[in-house]
Amino acid sequence: MPTYEYLCQNCGYKFEKFQSIVQDPVSECPVCSSNAVTRLVTGGAGVIFKGSGFYETDYKKKKAKQKTTKKSNTKKEKK
């Protein structure tokens, strides 16, 4: 769920609201109770990883192990 920013045109109070995309925008200011609130257009924060367990190497593709030993086709002749 995204976080939306709002600005009250009456008192200038700027606040954020964590809402579902399908919810109606906030229309009343929590400070002055006016109905002059507009939702601001922001770029968003992107993905935020919180908690332990998020490492750079978690999603990297593992390289296939290459065989470095080659069998020799030449045989020593016995006398």
Q: Which residue has the tokens 């109070």?
A: 13
Query: Any residues with CB less than 8 A from the CB of 66 and at least 6 apart, and which?
Result: none
What is the C-alpha separation between 31 and 19, in angstroms, rounded?
Answer: 19
**Cβ distance 11 to 34 under 8 Å?**
yes
- pTM here is 0.54
What is the C-alpha separation between 9 and 14, in angstroms, rounded?
Answer: 9
Domain boundaries, the chain: 3-40
Q: Which residue has the tokens 């109606």?
A: 24
What are 26-50's pLDDT values in tens digits? 999 999 999 999 999 877 666 766 6
Binning pLDDT at 50, 70 and 90, where does residue 3 land? confident
